[in-house]
Amino acid sequence: MSRLITRRRFLIGSTLTASALGLSGCDAVVESPKVQSVLKIAEGFTMKTQRFLLGDDALAREFSAADISPTFRANGTSMPDGGQYQDLLSRKFTTWQLDVGGLVERPAQFSLPALKAMPARTQITRHDCVEGWSAIGQWSGVPLAALLNQVGLKPQARYIVFHCADEFEKTLDGSGWYYESIDLVDAFHPQTILAYAMNGRDLEVPHGAPLRLRVERQLGYKQAKYLMRIEAVADLSGLYGGNGGFWEDRGYEWYAGI
């Protein structure tokens, strides 16, 4: 009988402990840095698995014109308020130039007409926001691979960083500028383009005029808008929060394949 009571006590005791932990300790456990570093293991696991399954060149689904969303929701910044961007906008981006530098052999600037003169790719794809909604749109632009081949990457280059014209979060130290980064697998993927047109028209301001990134196998926050400068780097630790992107510096995964 004593054994039974011991077990009964054990069962009741463990149930009470579990519910007490559940009620009071939840948010404290969630915020523990140790717990967070353990949880981050899953991101590496997800990326390795997806890269293994996808290979380098598997394409995202492309849709037909009939599938295009009637309204494509604009998210994040819909009008950069900096003086520089306002000046470019008032001149209809005729003075805008994309600066390509960092670990490249031949740093260069590209005007909008110069980009439009390069071989283009048009694709109708689904944009998946990390929040859960989706919109389908048609994008036209220059494959990033073509641009990178033109400037020539140095051997040490590992990531491509996209610097944007919108300061998404106003801070005193300037850490709130939008930026993003991808590795070379995604940079040279055939569907990774610098888009200057959406649904057959010049890119509108809420969608990132004059140029935005499309990385079709990842979530919406990777699709940086208002591109100003592209930089090839060897590692991401020296930029802003060191995590490779505006949202990444605020806790989101760098690899946004899920």
Partner 1 sequence: MDTSETMPTPPGSKRLIVHRHSIAVRLSHWLNVLCMTILLFSGLQIFNAHPALYWGPYGADNDPSVLSMRAVEGGDTTRGITRIGSLSFDTTGVLGVSDVDGQPTERGFPAWITLPSYQDLATGRRWHFFFAWLFVINGVAYLAYGLISRHFRRDLLPKAAELTPTNLGHEIADHARLRFPKGEKARNYNTLQKLAYLTVIFVALPLMIATGLTMSPGFDAFAPWLIDVFGGRQSARTIHFIAASGLIAFVVIHVAMVLVSGLFNNMRSMITGGYAIDSRPEPAVKKDFAS
Least Å from the CB of residue 113 to partner 1: 32
Helix (H, G, I), strand (E, B) or coil at 13: helix
Indicate which single residue of 16, 20, 59, 114 sits in contact with partner 1 (rule: CB under 8 A). 59
End-to-end CA separation in angstroms for the chain: 53
Cβ burial of 7 (10 Å; 0-12, 13-18, 19+) is exposed
The number of CA neighbours under 13 Å toward the Cβ of 87 is 7
- Under rule CB under 8 A, residue 136 binds partner 1: yes
- Under rule CB under 8 A, residue 81 binds partner 1: no
Q: Among 164, 174, 167, 184, which residue's Cα sits nearest to residue 233?
A: 184
- Under rule CB under 8 A, residue 233 binds partner 1: no
Identity of the amino acid at 173: D
Count of positions on this chain that bind partner 1 (CB under 8 A): 53
Candidate segments 61-69, 139-147, 194-202, 231-239, binder of partner 1 by CB under 8 A: 61-69
- Under rule CB under 8 A, residue 252 binds partner 1: yes
Measured CA to CA, the distance from residue 224 to residue 170 in angstroms comes to: 18
3-state secondary structure 24-78: HCHHHHHHCHHHHHHHCHHHHHHHHHHHHHHCCCCCCCCCCHHHCCCCCCCCCCC
Phi (first) and psi of residue 202, to 5 degrees: -55, 140
Return the bridge partners of 128, or none: 134
Least Å from the CB of residue 229 to partner 1: 26
Least Å from the CB of residue 86 to partner 1: 27
Least Å from the CB of residue 218 to partner 1: 6
Pairing verdict, β 134-143 and 227-233 = unpaired
- Under rule CB under 8 A, residue 251 binds partner 1: yes
Least Å from the CB of residue 52 to partner 1: 9
Measured CA to CA, the distance from residue 2 to residue 7 in angstroms comes to: 9
- Under rule CB under 8 A, residue 69 binds partner 1: yes
- Lay out the site mask for partner 1 across 85-124 (x = CB under 8 A, - = otherwise): ----------------------------------------
Residues binding partner 1 (CB under 8 A): 1, 4, 7-8, 11, 26-27, 30-31, 36, 38-43, 45-46, 50, 53-54, 58-61, 63, 67, 69-73, 126, 128-136, 216-219, 247, 250-253, 257-258
